[in-house]
Amino acid sequence: MTDDAPRTAAFFRLEGVLLRRPTLAAAAYLASNGQGVGERVARLGNVALAAPLALLGELRVGAAQARMTWMGLRGMSEDRLVLLGEEYFEEYLKDDVTDVGKELLKQARRDGRRVVLVSDNVDHVVGPVADLLGADDLICNRLELRHGKATGRLEEPVISGNVAGPWLRRFAGEHGVSVDGSWAYGASGADALLLSAIGQPCAVNPDRQLRRLAKDHDWPVVDG
Amino acid sequence: MGHTTYLEAAGAGALSVRRAVQGKRLLVTGVTGFLGKVWLAHLLQNAPDVAEVIVLIRPKKGESASARLDRIIERSPAFRALRDAHGEGYERFVRGKLRGVEARLTQPLAGLGADAAPLLADIDAVVHFAGLTDFEPDPLMALDANVRGARHAADLAALSRGRIYLHVSTAFVAGVDTDDVREHIERGLAPNGVRFSPERELQDLEAELGRLERKQDRIDACMARAQRLGWPNVYTYTKGLAEHLLEGRQDVRAATFRPSIVECALSYPFTGWNEGVNTSGPIVWLLGTSFQRFPARAENVFDIAPVDTAARRLSLVLAAQLAGERDAVGVYTCASGTVNPFTFGRAVEMTGLAQRRLHRGSGDRWRRNVVSRLDAVCFGVQDEQAFGHARLRRLARATRSWLRENPPKEQLSPRMHRKLGGRRLDDNVRSCSMKCRTADRKLGQIDDMLRQYRPFIHDHDYRFRTERLAALSERLAPGEREAFAFDVADIDWRHYWMDVEVPGLETWSIPILRGEKVPEDEPRVVANARRTRSPRYGRSVDAAE
């Protein structure tokens, strides 16, 4: 490959492809470890409200589910978010990386692709995962902070099933990446837009919805 | 490094600590204390061309001054970095630079008598760290250590060649004057704005304390005096009085260094080092228990100065004094709250989070499963919570009283008593009563501690200005920035509290609160120096036995 040739990237949806735990579990962990018992109950209740939306799927409810999930952390201090994020990573995520995900990551690096992790989780939780996996970029949600406390809102752009065509082309343009030569790995129906916008889509341990789409579009499917 | 090199290194107007202390003889008190030790080791390591440091040491019961100095040199972790830097040559270096002299600062001329004059003839500056830092000690002791001690140390400076005196005080002499505390003192103007005569106050205090036989009466009398002038406790009152007495002296060029709360080292002698029980130790210990309601205002500044930053900044003031700078007199405050505020709310929350880390790995099931899931919160003392310590104490007392007044044997019929366990029931009730007594005693200790801390953690929100010290730091010679500069704005409080302060306290301070010993370093080399008596001063203790 010459220096002038557009580079390629490998987009990994973190949840499902590299990690088994869903985003909602991280939000529930942070909420249930608030400062004080009453605060924990209130926060956890708020996160629970997002569960039905999660069942409907990101494609149907869009960013609303992500917003609802993290709204319960309003007023939580940045110190607590950072430290609980590290704690959650140490306890639940560090050893949770799937074998198939590790293999695909290795393959992407061997092929010289830029490794981009995409997650609807927040940076306090998935930041350490990106460091662990040596990712080049991490596209995730960021909690809006004011005076050292979370406002309960997410910074724009909110990451959910919207990581798709326009977003992908903008990212590719900014980083000199070829969309046609790049790969994307998804695991749920919510990743369908991302996979359909990329040159080389791949479904990894897909749910029923994505498996059907993969079959219809003749995308490769990796189970493991 | 030679003298010219220092001159070259320090540009015009620049402040060079190394150049200022080169070839100078310093007389230092209080190096057995936390800040004193770190400052001394740091200075010897980073300005090794100082001619000599003579340390005045008080013998303790069962330990001579000589033994105390040897212990510091050989075993104190404060000297670990210096020991590592010099390796095999450490003994020779440190014995060549340090000389201990037995002294009692409570006596005029530190009890040196006729030895004082020849000793002081070639002293360039006196640095006075010694003092009593307990919040509510016996005022007689506080008066001796903090007022008379400071006065006697200044007397030594007045008789010395350099007539330079650097007095280490505390930022909290500001008392009730909490907003925008300037690096300034106006003699005879108390923190609450009342005018007073420092000499007269001292005389009256001495007279009043002399009349009182009980320690508690002396504390009460001293507290009343302190509060009348706007100081919250015996410690700040005696330290403040010493500053006011010093301010009037014309026979020395005096500067006062006021650190805020001196805590674990950021990097020197090594990350996390602390000694003894300082301000945060009891707080962190308390929040590591099931006691989770902390009476502090979350938004109040918890003004911390890591010990090594305080040591570096103190060297700057001394250097300015030794360099003969005309402005190097008056007050210098070493604090962080104005530039980079850290609040009690953050401290309490992060202490809880740090304790989680510690408890989750604990073998104790109570700690692992229960205490680790509790989180401390701040609350105003007027909003006593349902499970506040005062209520718990009342509950413990009432339970014990009820159990004592209603023994099961008397309250139950013999048949019911037998059915409920008989003697075993009596034993259980007795045991429960004992536990209530222990809880009452422990909660009483906590209550007492929180009462003493209250002015600093709840009632007052201090904002200390530090421009004078910052200006000195900015003028530091470029080659010395690594060794002596430090900007408190650079402190990442989350990292400091989680990775430095709490682990440091868990290692070096909290074991003391639990009645355990903290480790000392193993001596690197068995000292082979012989005891020598200085031909000039009969009480020198400059060599190991």
Q: B114 lies in which domain range?
A: 16-346+462-513
Order across the sheet with B98-102: list the strands. Answer: B98-102, B52-57, B25-29, B125-128, B164-168, B253-259, B330-334
Angle at CA of residue A30, ends A25 and A35, nearest 5°: 150
Interval B145-175: pLDDT, tens: 999 999 999 999 999 999 999 999 999 999 9
The CA distance from B496 to B336, in Å, is 13
Nearest CA of chain A to the CA of B494: how many Å? 7
Domain-embedded: residue B508? yes
Structure tokens at A102: 């590790």
Task: Decide if B314 contacts B334 (C-beta within 8 A).
Answer: yes
Q: To which residue do tokens 């510690």 refer?
A: B358
Answer whether A87 sits within 8 Å of B357, measured CB to CB: yes
Q: A28 lies in which domain range?
A: 9-222
| Cα–chain center distance at B38 | 12
The model carries a pTM of 0.85
Answer whether B375 sits within 8 Å of A84, measured CB to CB: no
Nearest by CB to residue A35, choosing from B357, B377, B498, is B377
Answer whether B350 sits within 8 Å of A83, measured CB to CB: yes
Structure tokens at A11: 């987009």
Task: Decide if B272 contacts B503 (C-beta within 8 A).
Answer: yes
Closest CA to B46 of B283, B370, B269, B207: B269
Please report, as a single letter, which amino acid is at residue B204: D
Could you tell me if B352 lies within 8 Å of chain A, comparing CB atoms?
yes
Between A and B, how many residue pairs show a Cβ–Cβ distance under 8 A? 28
DSSP B299-339: TSB--EEEHHHHHHHHHHHHHHHHTT-TT--EEEEE--TTT
B chain contacts of residue A84, beta-carbon cutoff 8 Å? 353
**For the purposes of burial, counting CB atoms within 10 Å of the CB of A70, is it exposed (0-12), middle (13-18) or buried (19 or more)?**
buried
The CA distance from B180 to B188, in Å, is 19
Interface of A with B (CB under 8 A): 33-36, 77, 79-80, 82-84, 87, 148
- Number of domains within chain A: 1
Answer whether B350 sits within 8 Å of A35, measured CB to CB: no
| Cα–chain center distance at B77 | 17
Interval B324-377: pLDDT, tens: 998 999 999 999 999 999 999 999 999 988 888 887 777 788 777 777 777 888
ipTM: 0.83
Nearest CA of chain B to the CA of A122: how many Å? 19
From first to last of its 545 residues, chain B has per-residue pLDDT tens of 444 444 444 455 799 999 999 999 999 999 999 999 999 999 999 999 999 999 999 988 888 888 899 999 999 999 999 999 999 999 999 999 999 999 999 999 999 988 899 999 999 999 999 998 888 899 999 999 999 999 999 999 999 999 999 999 999 999 987 778 999 999 999 999 999 999 999 999 999 999 999 999 999 999 999 999 999 999 999 999 999 999 989 999 999 999 999 999 999 999 999 998 888 888 888 887 767 778 888 899 999 999 999 999 999 999 999 999 989 999 999 999 999 999 999 999 999 888 888 877 777 887 777 777 778 888 776 655 545 667 778 888 899 888 888 888 888 888 888 888 888 888 888 889 888 888 888 888 888 888 888 888 888 899 999 999 999 999 999 999 989 988 888 899 999 999 999 999 999 998 988 888 888 888 865 444 444 333 333 343 333 32
The CA distance from B376 to A4, in Å, is 58
The CA distance from B333 to B169, in Å, is 9
Answer whether A79 sits within 8 Å of B494, measured CB to CB: yes
* Shortest CA distance from A85: residue in chain B: B353
Domain-embedded: residue B395? no
The CA distance from B113 to B125, in Å, is 19
Answer whether A36 sits within 8 Å of B377, measured CB to CB: yes
Domain-embedded: residue A79? yes
CATH number of the domain where residue B329 is located: 3.40.50.720
Note the residue count of chain A. 224
Q: To which residue do tokens 């989070």 refer?
A: B353
Interval A43-102: pLDDT, tens: 989 888 887 776 766 666 667 778 888 998 999 999 999 999 999 999 999 998 999 999
Answer whether B353 sits within 8 Å of A79, measured CB to CB: yes
CATH number of the domain where residue A26 is located: 3.40.50.1000
Structure tokens at A210: 């994505």
Q: What is the pLDDT of residue A18?
A: 94
- Largest interatomic CA distance in chain A: 60
* Shortest CA distance from A87: residue in chain B: B357
Closest CA to A122 of A67, A176, A48: A67
Residues β-bridged to residue B53: B26, B98
Could you tell me if B358 lies within 8 Å of chain A, comparing CB atoms?
no
| Cα–chain center distance at B450 | 18
Answer whether A79 sits within 8 Å of B350, measured CB to CB: yes
Closest CA to A33 of A94, A80, A92, A93: A80
Angle at which helix A23-32 crosses helix A63-71, to 10 degrees, equals 20
Domain-embedded: residue A183? yes
Residues β-bridged to residue B330: B255
- Number of domains within chain B: 1
